[in-house]
């Protein structure tokens, strides 16, 4: 299994542990054997891609962990490696790539590159497939760079993948093998930026010549950020030897470059760009802090930055030598608190922070052969914690922080009430609110509706059944007036 931002550092032993806690095993999917899996939030549960050769499946569970739907996928050759799940509104996408291996003979296999290198299966929340499309995408410069030198590349994994303006957008890593050797070895990597238009199926491919090694990425409106080894890294006029963040335009050209923090030594630094949440980038960074007090070995920090990569807030984790494992190690609740996971050896740490980066929970779990993969938050703000076992099994747990607040009536103005709840369409507001705009979000934090409050009511009839967060915001100051969790029946 490949994670977009897995650490490449050796494990350290923890010298001091808190008392290990127990997680609650969750779902009938617990212990499912799979060669690869990926998951995505639906309105009423979680959808998983389960790779079990010779077949692949989509499996949906509800918030109680019950398997409520299951679909065996038709054979698509390029889905047998790195199936990635994405969501765009009511549509879901399974994006796959063909995995190629060097044959050790140095044969020119150029014809392989012209045969359905990418595939996309489109389906809905009920796992009903509406489209299967394959795309012939040839690695940039494959004939000149790879085949003429007696080597060829095998697709490794997408280092970052998202949907931007109805286009599936990704950076793919290609490992270049020395096929002249009896034991082919990776001798280099190429990084390729690709866009697939979901409306026209048009593909765009750009070679990322400035990227030497890439761990993670985040896509913004007019540019995207990549974290890793970026060529010609000059920060404030000085060469920078640590990993850095490069900003690229959507033609794959480098615009500028940033350091996480000059106070972290380059030899031990690693991390993830993390996730973009409401115009804020949540990143995690690991390394030796050389200019301030901290851990004897290594510190892990969480940064909150704006989209120009300016630092807004930073928190240093209270525990040492913790490795960030995946950008999916962040998960946000309806109250803007968020969970974060990291690991060290056989121990996994789960934290919960409020929006000011104050620690609300800090738990350690002894899971000696598991790695944290992804965090999901249920509509009741419980955490579904996904790990991957070394014997290729999914592990699912449920965890509730002892400081979780009830969000059904959490607000800055408790004199207002929203009814009916649940509602079939219209929500009425009892109380005095003037000059406010109403914002409606789904449970993943996506803004679905924004309008001025008129007649103290808001119409949700065009939204699907599910759980939503309604915020009333002062139009002049932008301050939160009140917030409610509403169930649309």
**317-367 pLDDT, tens per residue?**
877 777 777 778 899 988 888 999 888 777 888 888 888 888 888 888 877
The answer, yes or no, to whether residue 287 has pLDDT greater than 80, is no
Q: Does residue 14 lie within any of the structural domains?
A: no
Q: Can you state the percent helix, strand and coil of the chain, rounding each to 5?
A: 5, 50, 45
Question: Could you give the CA distance from residue 364 to residue 90 in angstroms, rounded to a whole number?
Answer: 36
User: Do the strands 55-61 and 45-52 form a parallel or antiparallel pair, or are they unpaired?
Assistant: antiparallel
The CATH number assigned to the domain holding 469 equals: 2.60.40.10
472 in the same domain as 349? no
Question: Could you give the CA distance from residue 167 to residue 202 in angstroms, rounded to a whole number?
Answer: 9
In the predicted model, what is the mean pLDDT of residues 377-399?
A: 83
When pLDDT is cut at 50, 70 and 90, the band that residue 283 belongs to is confident
Instruction: Note the pTM of the prediction, 2 decimals.
Output: 0.73
67 in the same domain as 131? yes
436 in the same domain as 292? no
Q: Does residue 195 lie within any of the structural domains?
A: yes
Counting every residue, how long is the chain?
489
- Supply the pLDDT for residue 359: 83
Number of other residues whose CB lies within 10 A of the CB of residue 224: 22
Question: Could you give the CA distance from residue 486 to residue 469 in angstroms, rounded to a whole number?
Answer: 6
478 in the same domain as 363? no
Q: Which of 338, 365, 399 is the last residue of a domain?
A: 399
> For residue 55, is it left (φ>0), alpha (ψ between -120 and 50) or beta?
beta
- Neighbouring-strand partners of residue 417: 430
The total of structural domains in the chain comes to 2
300 in the same domain as 447? no
- Supply the pLDDT for residue 6: 39
Give φ, ψ of 456 to 5 degrees. 55, 45
253 in the same domain as 163? yes
What's the whole-number average pLDDT of the chain? 75
The H-assigned helical ranges of 117-182 are: none
426 in the same domain as 383? no
Collapsing DSSP states into helix, strand and coil, what is residue 212?
Answer: strand
The answer to whether 360 and 344 are in contact (CB under 8 A) is no
Question: Could you give the CA distance from residue 275 to residue 160 in angstroms, rounded to a whole number?
Answer: 11
Q: Does residue 378 lie within any of the structural domains?
A: yes
Q: Which of 399, 433, 467 is the last residue of a domain?
A: 399
The answer to whether 99 and 80 are in contact (CB under 8 A) is yes
Q: Does residue 126 lie within any of the structural domains?
A: yes
201 in the same domain as 174? yes
Q: Does residue 407 lie within any of the structural domains?
A: no
Collapsing DSSP states into helix, strand and coil, what is residue 20?
Answer: coil
**Who's near 433: CB < 8 A, 6+ residues apart?**
413, 416, 453, 456, 472, 481, 482
The CATH number assigned to the domain holding 110 equals: 2.130.10.10
Question: Could you give the CA distance from residue 197 to residue 195 in angstroms, rounded to a whole number?
Answer: 6
**Which of 14-18, 87-91, 119-123, 277-281 has the lowest average pLDDT?**
14-18
In the chain, the percentage of residues whose pLDDT exceeds 70 is 71
424 in the same domain as 331? no
448 in the same domain as 316? no
pLDDT digits (tens, 9 = 90+) for 292-314: 455 656 678 888 999 988 889 88
How far CA 38 is from CA of 80, 180, 348, in Å, comes to: 13, 35, 20
In the predicted model, what is the mean pLDDT of residues 154-176?
A: 80
Query: 435 is in which domain, residue-wise?
Result: 417-488
Q: Which of 399, 433, 468 is the last residue of a domain?
A: 399
Q: Does residue 18 lie within any of the structural domains?
A: no
pLDDT digits (tens, 9 = 90+) for 188-228: 677 888 899 988 888 888 888 888 888 889 999 889 998 88
129 in the same domain as 32? yes
The answer to whether 55 and 93 are in contact (CB under 8 A) is no
224 in the same domain as 331? yes
- Supply the pLDDT for residue 60: 95
Q: Does residue 142 lie within any of the structural domains?
A: yes
When pLDDT is cut at 50, 70 and 90, the band that residue 70 belongs to is very high
Q: Does residue 143 lie within any of the structural domains?
A: yes
Collapsing DSSP states into helix, strand and coil, what is residue 329?
Answer: helix
Question: Could you give the CA distance from residue 230 to residue 213 in angstroms, rounded to a whole number?
Answer: 7
In the predicted model, what is the mean pLDDT of residues 236-245?
A: 64
């Amino acid at each position: 299994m490949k994670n977009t931002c897995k650490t490449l550092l050796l494990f350290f032993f923890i010298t001091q542990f808190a008392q290990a806690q127990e997680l609650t095993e969750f779902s009938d999917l617990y212990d499912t054997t799979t060669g690869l899996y990926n998951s995505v939030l639906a309105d009423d549960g979680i959808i998983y891609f389960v790779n079990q050769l010779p077949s692949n499946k989509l499996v949906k569970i509800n918030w109680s962990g019950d398997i409520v739907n299951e679909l065996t996928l038709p054979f698509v050759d390029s889905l047998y490696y790195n199936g990635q799940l994405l969501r765009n509104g009511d549509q879901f996408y399974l994006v796959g790539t063909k995995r190629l291996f060097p044959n050790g003979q140095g044969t020119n296999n150029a014809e392989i590159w012209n045969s359905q290198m990418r595939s996309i299966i489109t389906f809905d929340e009920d796992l009903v497939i509406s489209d299967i499309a394959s795309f012939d995408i040839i690695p940039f410069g494959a004939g000149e760079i790879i085949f003429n030198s007696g080597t060829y590349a095998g697709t490794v994994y997408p280092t970052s993948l998202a949907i931007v303006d109805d286009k599936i957008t990704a950076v793919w890593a290609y490992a270049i093998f020395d096929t002249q050797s009896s034991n082919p070895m990776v001798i280099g990597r190429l990084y390729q930026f690709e866009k697939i238009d979901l409306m026209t199926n048009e593909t765009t491919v750009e070679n990322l010549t400035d990227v030497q090694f890439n761990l993670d990425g985040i896509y913004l409106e007019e540019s995207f950020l990549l974290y890793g080894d970026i060529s010609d890294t000059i920060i404030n006029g000085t060469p920078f030897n640590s990993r850095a963040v490069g900003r690229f335009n959507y033609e794959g050209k480098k615009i500028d470059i940033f350091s996480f923090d000059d106070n972290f030594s380059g030899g031990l630094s690693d991390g993830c760009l993390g996730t973009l949440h409401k115009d804020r980038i949540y990143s995690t960074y690991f390394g030796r802090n050389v200019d301030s007090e901290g851990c004897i070995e290594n510190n892990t920090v969480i940064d909150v930055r704006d989209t120009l990569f300016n630092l807004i807030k930073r928190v240093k984790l209270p525990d040492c030598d913790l490795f960030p494992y995946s950008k999916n190690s962040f998960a946000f609740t309806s109250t803007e608190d968020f969970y974060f996971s990291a690991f060290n050896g056989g121990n996994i740490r789960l934290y919960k922070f409020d929006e000011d980066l104050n620690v609300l929970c800090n738990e350690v779990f002894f899971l000696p052969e598991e790695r944290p993969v992804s965090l999901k938050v249920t509509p009741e703000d419980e955490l579904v914690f996904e790990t991957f076992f070394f014997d290729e099994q999914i592990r699912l747990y449920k965890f509730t922080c002892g400081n979780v607040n009830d969000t059904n009536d959490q607000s800055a103005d408790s004199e207002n009430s929203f009814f009916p709840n649940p509602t079939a369409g219209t929500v009425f507001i009892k109380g005095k609110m003037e000059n406010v705009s109403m914002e409606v979000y789904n449970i993943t934090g996506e803004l679905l509706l924004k309008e001025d409050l008129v007649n103290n009511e808001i119409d949700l009839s065009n939204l699907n059944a599910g759980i939503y967060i309604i915020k009333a915001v002062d139009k002049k100051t932008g301050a939160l007036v009140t917030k409610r969790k509403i169930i649309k029946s």
